Structure 1
Amino acid sequence: MAISTSSGGDDAPMSDINTTPLVDVMLVLLIIFLIAVPVVIQTVPIRLPKVAFEPTTTKPENVSLSVIKEADGSCGVYWNLTRVTSDDLLTRAVDKLKKDIEKAGGVQNMNPDDLPEVHIRGDIDVPYKCIGGTIFTMQRAGYPKVGFISEPEPGSISIRRL
């Protein structure tokens, strides 16, 4: 404790706080944070898409699938209103794609816009493996366009591409 001498001659304790150690600690912490923050925040520069509600055009050749979590915890996949297993889904998808190609007169008469699309409606409680398995099965069957049907947020703006 520092003792100051006042003009009255009585020794009184000094009431000032020595801030030098506090400032030293703060400067060291500041330097540590200035060095550590750029190391911690390392990201790959990417441009994320701007999400907007885009109305889909429903064509009769499109495949409509619904994926839900069943009561027993298993994945339930429905082709329109019919429940299908993974093998049934692959068989139905291949057969439908063959029929659509034959109807068009062969692959040479089709362009990418003529191919049917797969529209998946996934319940919010469905595990990702159910949706991922359905996507994989449909791509394995030969469908290049697989999309999701979702509910837009209230008040969202829709964009229509012509």
Structure 2
Amino acid sequence: MAMGSFNAQNHPMPTAEINMTPLVDVMLVLLIIFIITAPLMTHQVPVDLPRAASTPTPDKPMTLQVSINADNAIFIGAEAVDRNTLETKFREAVAKDEKVEMHLKADRATRYETVAEAMSAARRAGLTKIGFVTQPGEGA
């Protein structure tokens, strides 16, 4: 019966080397792809474009910040406005700029009637763009 030994001298240890050939092959293929596609990305037809005087872009339209607090008091900017003079203030703003926009901020506790009055006064005064300002919700 043959007896084997577990001697390390008879069995050499395997060497742990990384084979670099596949890595070099992949890198060369990528390099060739980039060399071929780079000129295509910058290729343009040479065109001598004419010069033109540009007109200034129109300014943003004036905005009215209308706020209604929990006590149903109406404010334009920081100025408190009576409900009877609200339409007059809106007409003055429309006279200054026809494209004036109204941004309406109403408190959560504001009565719907007050918001509807402000919106109808704006509509009668000629305001056509009315936006509601809100805070983003929890899920937004």
The interval holding the TM-score normalised by the smaller chain is: 0.5 to 0.7
Report the residue type matching 1:79 in the other structure: I
Paired residue for 2:64? 63
Rounded Cα–Cα distance in structure 2 between residues aligned with 1:69 and 1:132: 15
Rounded Cα–Cα distance in structure 2 between residues aligned with 1:136 and 1:93: 11
Report the residue type matching 1:66 in the other structure: S
Q: How does 1:1-162 map to 2 (within 5 A)?
A: 59=60, 61-70=62-71, 75-101=72-98, 115-156=99-140
Which one has more relative contact order, counting CA pairs under 8 Å at least 6 apart? 1
Higher alpha-carbon Rg: 2
The runs of 5 or more residues in structure 2 that have no matched partner are 1-59
- Can you list the C-alpha shifts for 1:20-65, whole angstroms capped at 9, x where unaligned? xxxxxxxxxxxxxxxxxxxxxxxxxxxxxxxxxxxxxxx5611110
Rounded Cα–Cα distance in structure 2 between residues aligned with 1:95 and 1:116: 10
Rounded Cα–Cα distance in structure 2 between residues aligned with 1:138 and 1:144: 8
Same amino acid, percent of matched pairs: 25
The runs of 5 or more residues in structure 1 that have no matched partner are 1-58, 102-114, 157-162
- Can you list the C-alpha shifts for 1:89-132, whole angstroms capped at 9, x where unaligned? 1111101111214xxxxxxxxxxxxx121100000000100111
Runs of 4+ aligned structure 1 residues displaced above 2 Å come to none
Computed over aligned residues only, the root mean square deviation of the Cα atoms, in angstroms, reads 1.4
